[in-house]
Structure 1
Amino acid sequence: MSTDFQQARIALGLRLRELRTEGALTGRQLADRLGWPQSKVSKLETGRQTATQEDLKAWAAGVGQPHAAQELAARLRVLESHSRSWRRQLAAGHRPVQDRLTVEYERSTVMRAWEGSMIVGMLQTADYARHVFGAYADLHRSPRDIEDAVRARVQRQEALYQPGKQYHIVMWEAALRALVGSPAVMAAQLDRLGSALGLNTLSLGVVPFEASLKLPPANGFWIYDERLVIVEDWHAELWLDQSDSVALYRRVWEVLAGAAVYGSDAHKVITRCRRALGSA
């Protein structure tokens, strides 16, 4: 969890406590009024739990200040602009998440990506993407709109052929070897990477296992036009638009990109990963 996110959640909790005390209510009294366990009131006020829009509306009404619901909702939107939980994002399935990302791709010109664990979405085959979405739907117990999500991801890849766009993608060799789906699915995926090396809009680098790394290959992320970084974690995405955060991730990307090989050397790494799959 990011420091910015936690600070924003604590600030929201302090505001909730302020509204409760203004209403001359104890935590127990408010909990009883709302039909909540007292621990929920305590966790919300101390920033140990993230409120929902429904929680905030109920809180405002419970303390006798329903007009405060709009203010609290605005605070929550600011908080969620930094951290967007998968539980909430995937409540309606994977397709809406893909559509929101497409907006960022469309409004951006230069994009940089690092991925150490799987093939980046912009270069995934439909079968590979299908296995990824299925695995995450199982993990998060979200609606299984797998085919809609796959279509959205594949459609977004058309931007790879748009003049004026630039994609600088770097992946660790581990991402090319992780067996996502069957060996046949992975073989087709590696063939796709090999063919993508010739795209004019794409600079594709691979960090080989034998490369010396100045930084550990941690979380994957995308940088959009030096204005936004999206970082994926198991529980949430972080959307970071502060200039110092964007600059930090740009430095991380430069270090990792500096350890990568490109062109024919990248093709050699892809080929050896493909051969490791045998006759698949």
Structure 2
Amino acid sequence: MGSERREQMRALGARLRGLRAEAGLTGAVLAQRAGVGQPTVSKVETGRMVPSVDVLDRLSRALGLDELTVREVRELLDAVMAAPGTDQSADNIPPAAGSTVDEEVRSTQLVRSFQCVVLPALLQTAEYARHVFVSAPKSTPDAVGRAVAARIERQSVLYEPGRESVFVLTEAVLRTWPGSPALMLAQLDRLLAVESLSTVRLGVIPWRQPVPVLPRHGFTLCDRRAVVVEAFDSERVSADSAELAAFEETFARFEGAAVFGDEVRELLLRVMSDFRSLGDLLTR
């Protein structure tokens, strides 16, 4: 990354940090008001991340900035984007699916995630996560290694008292596999371990059960303040009340179609048996 671009990022971050201090807000409070993860606020303020226009607008609204100051920070962002040296830093490599969720869940007490293709970020093993990040555009081995380590570290929220995580998957998620059958056996074993936690509810919609809504993408509800909507190559965070209500209703319908407890453990064991058979077949 060029030195001029880096300096512009630092200038934008310093200005936002100063405005937050003037408003008497902590980074955690600002993140909650803006509907973003606290790590996002930290990275922007320290010049390690270029915020999207949407994130900058939400930070500006949460800070209660007047029109003149909003224009000022927008101009600072424009200066970053116009600065020479557009190579992205390791922290700014376009994210693979789940990166935004990683940041959002840090300040979330209730996580509700529905997935129809890729396992939720909080449930991935290191090897599964590596395949997710390798698929990101412009990924590098060093960046992938750091991203995997950060993802595994953030999974500690699953074990924190006072938090609740509810995951609903289609059976297709369990049978869509990267790497090898051995990778998926380790991944499914991880799901069995996590399912036993008192802070986690894991549900699966079996293939024999019709889905109540045709799923087109995954999404994660963070408390009742934001939803992370996942597309093939990007993610967006929405705090719009009408959109939140629609996703909460949709999640409830998927949750109602899923099996939990003993039934989901039996299903996981059946899928594991299928992967063992597949592994034996591939090694013959």
**TM-score normalised to structure 1 length:** 0.65
C-alpha contact 2:185 2:276 (8 A) present in aligned 1: no
Counterpart AA for 1:181:
G
1:216–1:96 distance in 2 versus 1, CA, 3 Å: closer
C-alpha contact 1:115 1:219 (8 A) present in aligned 2: yes
Residue 42 of structure 1 is matched in structure 2 by: none
Counterpart AA for 1:176:
L
1:25-73 Cα distance to aligned partner (Å, 9 max, x none): xxxxxxxxxxxxxxxxxxxxxxxxxxx98xxxxxxxxxxxxxx996286
Aligned-partner Cα distance in 2 for 1:120–1:89: 25
1:103–1:130 distance in 2 versus 1, CA, 3 Å: closer
Over the residues paired in the alignment, what is the CA RMSD in angstroms? 3.1
1:74-118 Cα distance to aligned partner (Å, 9 max, x none): 4998xxxxxxxxx98987236899786444212111110000002
Residue 235 of structure 2 is matched in structure 1 by: 237
Displacement after TM superposition at 1:165 (Å): 0.3
1:149-200 Cα distance to aligned partner (Å, 9 max, x none): 1101100111111000000110000000011111110110011111111101
C-alpha contact 2:101 2:228 (8 A) present in aligned 1: no
**TM-score normalised to structure 2 length:** 0.64
SS at match of 1:252: helix
1:261–1:76 distance in 2 versus 1, CA, 3 Å: farther
Aligned-partner Cα distance in 2 for 1:230–1:96: 13
Residue 115 of structure 1 is matched in structure 2 by: 115
Size of the alignment, in residue pairs? 203
SS at match of 1:278: helix
1:100–1:217 distance in 2 versus 1, CA, 3 Å: closer
C-alpha contact 1:231 1:239 (8 A) present in aligned 2: yes
C-alpha contact 2:109 2:162 (8 A) present in aligned 1: yes
Residue 13 of structure 1 is matched in structure 2 by: none
In structure 1, list runs of 5 or more residues that go unmatched: 1-51, 54-67, 78-86
SS at match of 1:175: helix
Counterpart AA for 1:151:
A
In structure 2, list runs of 5 or more residues that go unmatched: 1-51, 54-67, 78-86, 280-284
SS at match of 2:244: helix
Runs of 4 or more, structure 1, over 3 Å off, are 72-77, 87-91, 94-103
1:99–1:114 distance in 2 versus 1, CA, 3 Å: closer
1:220-254 Cα distance to aligned partner (Å, 9 max, x none): 01001110000111242121101111000001100
Larger radius of gyration: 1
